Amino acid sequence: MIVPGAKLAGIDKPDMVPARDGYGKALVELGNENTEIVVLTGDLSESTRVQWFQEKFPDRFIEVGVAEQNMMGLAAGLALSGKIPFVSSYAVFCPGRAWDQIRVSVCYNRANVKIAGAHAGISVGPDGATHQALEDVASMRCLPNLTVVVPADWIEARKATKAIAVIDGPCYIRFGREKVPTITTDKTPFTIGKAEIYRDGDDVAVVACGVMVYEALVAAEKLSKEGIDVMVVNNHTVKPIDKNTLVSVAKRCGAMVTAEEHQINGGMGSAVMEVVAEKYPVPMERIGMRDSFGESGKPSELLAKYGMTSKEIMQACRNVLRRKFEVAQECGPLICPQPVSMTQDRAAQLLSTVPSNVTFKLKNGEKIASLQDLHRALLTMDKATFSTHVNTDKNDFAQWVQDVHKDAELADVLRRHASKTSLARALGVRIGQLYQKRGS
């Protein structure tokens, strides 16, 4: 499903709100709806926003103190007694220090415990490496019976918290400390286990989670000015992962980039790569922390230093596009026609200039008399002209190639792609094939 623009808040001057606020608000709502909801924390009620629940439901709030392993055992007991406990701490402490209890007491027993890992990622900032959880998704998604969710903003965090409350089984939800751009609305679709396409595109897909969804949208908008059409996918549920959507995206775009505020090894990007490698391999790159601990600093400075911004996403998109083109030139399965099987004379004929009565006239007045002309025009064509000739109802270029050049295979390829870049690339490969055939 592609999210309509009206169902996203947009990326221009977004409201900045910590995702943890959504968690805190949702807990209060859940407390009003279900008396079985209980909340536990390890001396971090204000930081994790559970003080709001504490103020309204003090008899269902448990302050355990700095004893995360004990807190997890207590939560497992409450869950097995019929309660729905939400355990709230920093991600470096929980799951970090309580992983054994999560594995044995919670996941092995399928105990209905909800674990919130706050202050995750490098954007914790001044607290430094010891408090910057960059491994939690990897350590949690490998555990059986556990759902793992990484919301993009406070609104999605609120939805995710309410959604995991009704799942019968252990869940982990992760969010950071800093204020992050609000990009979703109350109408934005959200379903556990379902990735959402926030921006359509044909050339390359960026699959992101958490705050990196915003960075991906920014990167996509900037790359559109370079003629690169980027799809953006919010993969908020790392486990169970949405295999069907990811495979469909890989088939359509033929190149992918993953982006997360987490180690690239074992995190969301690795989960996506596992799916794609098994089902439909395409060129891929990962944006995230590269086998390093963080350090103390301003969140924005740290994200920039360690390569987790729109700038790095843009470069990764260019990189995979280049590799996608190289693969297409070698074997032609992604966006380009198969190598031509025709005579030298036929190849020469397709490369020649067409009679003046069948030249193609662009909206901007330019005349196209050959495949080479069309290729050159596509590389520099303005957006308005392109949109006139290629839209949901038609593809004038494909029709001209079929009617005048009688190259039905190329015409079919052109119809399947709706961006200047992908059309120009497919056309360029065909022209290269024709020149090679003509010279053989």
Catalytic residues: 68
- To 5 degrees, how large is the angle CA 23–CA 28–CA 30? 90
* Cβ pair 372, 428 in contact under 8 A: no
Structure tokens at 421: 């870049």
Instruction: With residue 39 as reference, give the H or E element that holds it.
Output: strand 37-41
Helix (H, G, I), strand (E, B) or coil at 411: helix
The CA-atom distances, in angstroms, between 389 and each of 242, 271, 405, 419 are 35, 39, 18, 11
Whole-angstrom Cα distance, residue 169 to residue 91?
19
CA dist 243 and 436 (Å) reads 39
Give me the long-range contacts of 358-364 (CB less than 8 A, separation at least 24): 358/404, 360/396, 360/397, 360/400, 360/404, 362/389, 363/388, 363/389
Smallest CA-to-CA distance from 246 within 270, 219, 210 is with: 270
From the centroid of its chain, how far is CA 309? Answer: 13
Which helix (H) or strand (E) covers residue 384, if one does? Answer: helix 383-389
| Strands, E assignment, 144-250 | 147-149, 171-174, 179-181, 196-199, 204-208, 230-234, 237-239
Contacts of 133 (CB under 8 A, 6+ apart): 90, 91, 92, 96, 117, 119, 120, 121, 124, 174
Q: Which amino acid is at 158?
A: R
CA separation (Å) from 426 to 282, 411, 414? 17, 10, 7
What is d(CA 206, CA 284) in angstroms, rounded to the nearest whole number?
10
Rounded Cα distance, 282 and 203, in Å: 12
